[in-house]
Each structure stands twice: as structure tokens, then as C-alpha cells.
Amino acid sequence: MGDTVTVQPFGETFPVEPGETVLSAILRNGRFVKYGCKHGGCSTCRAEVVEGDFSQSDGTSFSLSDADRDSGVVLLCSTYPEGDLVVDIGGTMDDLTDEEYNAGQDVVEFTGTVDRIVDYTRDIKGIEIILDEPSSISFVPGQYIEIQVPGSNDEWRSFSMANPSSLDSRVHLVVRVIPNGRFTSLVGKEIAVGTTMNLRGPFGQFAIRLSYRPIIFVAGGSGIAPVLSMLSDLIESDNERPATFLYGARTVADLPMVDELRELERKHDWFTFIPALSDADRTPWDGETGLITEVLNRHFPSTKGHESYLCGPPAMIDAALDVLTSSGCKERHIFFDRFVPSG
């Protein structure tokens, strides 16, 4: 017999395939638990190991403290059983209902055709894929899909969708090209207009909550993608909540889609776009300068009563969390998606 995982307090036991994570096994067997990035960056799928041996991937270094590890807390997306394993999510996902757990998640496999590739900056590209079979996807802005690395048997990369959920016949991805990356280095080469791609999804629970609170978006790099999707849906729903988008880059050459976001700002009085450069000395720039978290602190000395959505590198997320909580934003009103580079 192979390895198994038992999920408490629900008392169900599932087989785990060789090389499969606990999270993947739970989802594959038609059950749902909370998760986000699926690679150890967001700490959403926390659980406590009750019994059994396991190993964890290096991705958890950003998301688990020494105290977590000492108390047996793991991330299900990065945990591999070494024998029979018992995990308890009762204390880490205490608001997960029986109905949610038993409902599972509807993950669909798609084929699609690359329709357009856009150079947004020197290392950030847009990939637009028309869905062929099935021909549409149902998702919530902020969610992501997985796309198979061309030529691989079972190697996938995760990217948030940048298009509004109403545009369900295609997916628009924003990709940061990493030198020698197994997927991103192929964009514009093996991955070109007309290339057939395999996709699956949607995944994740990063999404705008219904409330009256003003919104603060903070992003860097390809973290702009889910914000674009969220903004599009806010516009289509006739949003009136004030929303500010702070985007951090190094130089002017690293700022994607500035003109489009300025146009949204001009058309919608509830929306404010604040780009900032951390290395503004290289080119003329009359906008905000410094780390994006410094800009956040200057514009929002008090974040009490706000709701915040953070997308980008782990270091930026952690710094923004410190700024937000110290300036009054409640932790339960902060949502984030750590973008851990995988290439």
C-alpha cells in the first residue's frame, strides 16, 4: 500500500500518489480545503500534523516561522507524506464548513491557442490564450490557472488571470520572464502565436470581498495581473468604493501598462493609480520614489477601516503587511498572494 493522509476533524483518509503533496491528494479526491498559491508562498493551507512522518519543500521558508515548525504546523501544498499521515485543519481553518469541505472544487482541464504576445516591459510579457476545449472558463478575479510547460510530461506553472471574469473565452496572463526559466524563457520562442497550450483551473481564493471599506491594492512585478482582473470587475459592477492601486518598480522601463491605468483613473473618480520607482535616478521621473511600502506609508498614515489586497514578491508582501497592520488595518481585512518565482 502507498502513503495515505487522514484529514481531521472530518475523519476521512485518502491515498497519496508518489511525489504528490497532501493538498493535491485532498483536491484530487473531491474535497476542498483552503489554499492559495499552491507552492508554499501564501501560508493559506496551514495544518497541524497529528501523527506520521513527512517532508516539506523549500518553499515554506517564507511562510512558516520556527515556532510554527516546532508546534508541528505545515503547509499542505508543500507537505509530502512518508508513510501514513494525520493532519488537523480544525484549528487553522476553523471557519471551513462541512458543506465547503465536501463540495470540493471544480477544476477543469483546457486546451487553448496563443492568440497574442505583448511586451509590457523588458522582462514582463502578456500572453493571451483563446480557449478551445472547453471554450470558456468560470473564475473569480484574483484566481489563477496552471499552464503546462511545453514538452514536459507533468510540469506546470501558475499564473493569475488578468482579464475580467466576463471575458470567459480566453485567459490573459502577465508573465515575468526569468532567465533560463523552464516556462517563461520560452515565451516568444517555443511559445508563440498559434502554439497550443494545456491549462487547468481555476485555483485559489484570492478575491475581493463584498464590503463598504475603501480598497488599497499593492503590487509589484507580475502581481499586477490579479489587480487588473479585479479592477475590470469593479468597473463592470459600477463600483463606488474608493480604490487606490500602488505599484512598485525599479525604473520607468519596468512600469507596465501605465497609460491604460492612467486612462482608468481619468474615467473613474473612485480609482487612483500611484506608480513608484525605487531607482528613479536612472531616468527622468516626477512621480513617487522609494520602495512601494514607503510610498504606502506616506499616502496612508492611517489604514484603519481599509481593506487591502497585496500581490507580488514575498519580501514586498511581508513589508506591506507590517506597514498596514502598524497603521491600523485589521489583519482580517488584508488579503495577499505571494508570487514566488518559479520560471
Residues in Cβ contact with 143 at an 8 Å cutoff, skipping those fewer than 6 apart: 160, 161, 201, 202, 203, 204, 205, 206, 207, 226
Sorting pLDDT into bands at 50, 70 and 90, what band is 343? low
Overall domain count for the chain: 3
Question: Is 127 a residue whose pLDDT tops 80?
Answer: yes
Q: Is residue 278 part of a domain?
A: yes
**Chain segment 180-213, per-residue pLDDT in tens:** 888 988 888 899 999 999 999 888 888 899 899 9
**Residue where a domain stops, chosen among 203, 227, 243:** 203
DSSP 17-31: -TT--HHHHHHHTT-
Kindly state whether residues 187 and 227 are assigned to the same domain. Answer: no
Kindly state whether residues 312 and 329 are assigned to the same domain. Answer: yes
Its domain, for residue 16, covers: 3-103
| 187 Ramachandran zone, left/alpha/beta (phi>0; psi -120 to 50) | beta
Instruction: Name the strand (E) or helix (H) holding 145.
Output: strand 144-148
Kindly state whether residues 332 and 245 are assigned to the same domain. Answer: yes
**Chain segment 111-124, per-residue pLDDT in tens:** 999 999 999 999 99
Assign 130 to helix, strand or coil: strand
Residues in Cβ contact with 250 at an 8 Å cutoff, skipping those fewer than 6 apart: 277, 278, 279
Average pLDDT over residues 133-150: 92
**Chain segment 299-322, per-residue pLDDT in tens:** 999 999 999 999 998 889 999 999
Kindly state whether residues 158 and 47 are assigned to the same domain. Answer: no
Kindly state whether residues 78 and 163 are assigned to the same domain. Answer: no
Kindly state whether residues 231 and 284 are assigned to the same domain. Answer: yes
Kindly state whether residues 219 and 313 are assigned to the same domain. Answer: yes
Choose between 207 and 268: higher pLDDT.
268
Kindly state whether residues 223 and 185 are assigned to the same domain. Answer: no
Sorting pLDDT into bands at 50, 70 and 90, what band is 223? very high
**Residue where a domain stops, chosen among 158, 181, 203:** 203
**Residue where a domain stops, chosen among 69, 103, 137:** 103
Which CATH number covers residue 88? Answer: 3.10.20.30
Which CATH number covers residue 292? Answer: 3.40.50.80
Q: What is the pLDDT of residue 6?
A: 95
Kindly state whether residues 232 and 316 are assigned to the same domain. Answer: yes
Q: Is residue 84 part of a domain?
A: yes
Q: Is residue 210 part of a domain?
A: no
Which CATH number covers residue 173? Answer: 2.40.30.10
Sorting pLDDT into bands at 50, 70 and 90, what band is 133? very high
Sorting pLDDT into bands at 50, 70 and 90, what band is 99? confident
Kindly state whether residues 296 and 320 are assigned to the same domain. Answer: yes
Kindly state whether residues 83 and 172 are assigned to the same domain. Answer: no
**Chain segment 26-37, per-residue pLDDT in tens:** 988 888 888 877
Q: Is residue 244 part of a domain?
A: yes
Average pLDDT over residues 282-293: 88
Q: Is residue 208 part of a domain?
A: no
Choose between 35 and 244: higher pLDDT.
244
Percentage of residues in the chain having pLDDT higher than 90: 62
Kindly state whether residues 237 and 319 are assigned to the same domain. Answer: yes
Q: Is the pTM of this model over 0.85?
A: no
Sorting pLDDT into bands at 50, 70 and 90, what band is 95? confident
**Are 127 and 173 in contact, with CB atoms under 8 Å apart?**
yes
Q: What is the pLDDT of residue 153?
A: 82
Q: Is residue 233 part of a domain?
A: yes
Distance of alpha carbon 301 from alpha carbon 214, whole angstroms: 15
Q: How many degrees, rounded to 5, is the angle at CA 89 between CA 86 and CA 93?
A: 170
Sorting pLDDT into bands at 50, 70 and 90, what band is 65? confident
**Are 92 and 46 in contact, with CB atoms under 8 Å apart?**
yes
